Amino acid sequence: MAGVTDWAFRTVCARLGAGLTVTEMVSSRALVYRDRKSAALLRRNEGSVMGAQIFGSDPAIMAEAAALAVEISGCDFLDINMGCPMTKVVRNGDGAALMQNVPLAARIVEAVAKAVSVPVTVKCRLGWDRGNLCVVELAQAVAGAGAQAIAVHGRTRAMLYSGVADWDTIRQVKQAVANGDIFSGEAAVQCQKRSAADFLMLGRGVFGDPWLFQEVNAALEGRPIPPRPPLAARMDTALEQLHLARQDKGEHIACLEARKHFAWYLRGVAYSGYYKERISHIATMAEAEAIAAGIKRDLK
């Protein structure tokens, strides 16, 4: 969720029903080297249980970074990313690369758990590829090393974000969090039944649709699914997120990042091509507000 789950978006998601939110992943080395931009990613949002997520592959550096992350963010738990599949991450032995070295993964968890006073959790995948599904072994190892929960993205590193998430394999990892292909309340119910997970983690499904949390909560509780707000109200939320981002990062950066977020809020909206093109050039708050006004006037 790098580049997506910033403070502004987490704040919106928490307001709309996310019971637990996690920061973008932050480099352990960058934290230890006192990189200001990395530390800024750890700003705490209110309204939910909040976790700070770090990544790396050196136990000592991870332990030091974990303590810094907790101090900076005031987080409720510390999450270790062992699932990022991106080449620039795994080529350094970080992220999903740790699924190829379960003993090292366990040593990292043990070092981090000793360094912080908050619960430690792990996010991972099923394994490196279909021929190396090590998630059960990894879960057992990190749980023994001190992890309190493990979030399982039901794909291998080789799959990246393609194919279909494997909820049946997740079922083998009891006391896990299920992740993958939850884009509706119905999918959440099916995932919970097939995986027997203790709770569910939503990812790409909430891009531009933070109301998905309300739908999933209702479906899991057997309540009627609440309708999505009309487009005008959704644009108000998009603007709210942008204003929060400006407060956090300044107008220039907030507007650059708003280009993707605003486009996500228009996903599936008929005849929105003209406005998506304008969105791709947003540079100021005034432009964003003018575009939102046009969308509310012209589209349904």
Place of tokens 């790396």: 56
Q: Give the pairing type, strands 199-200 and 176-179.
A: parallel
The tokens describing 213, both together, are: 């949390």
Q: How far is CA 21 from CA 8, 220, 266, in A?
A: 12, 19, 23
- The residue among 21, 24, 37, 116 whose CA lies nearest residue 70 is 116
Place of tokens 């309300």: 214
The tokens describing 119, both together, are: 């619960």
* Catalytic-role residue among 13, 75, 84, 124: 84
The tokens describing 260, both together, are: 């993707």
Residues 6+ apart with CB under 8 A from 257: 3, 6, 245, 249
Residues 6+ apart with CB under 8 A from 166: 126, 154, 155, 180
Residues 6+ apart with CB under 8 A from 286: none
Residue 84 annotated among the catalytic residues of the structure: yes
3-state secondary structure of 175: coil
Which residues does the annotation mark as catalytic?
84
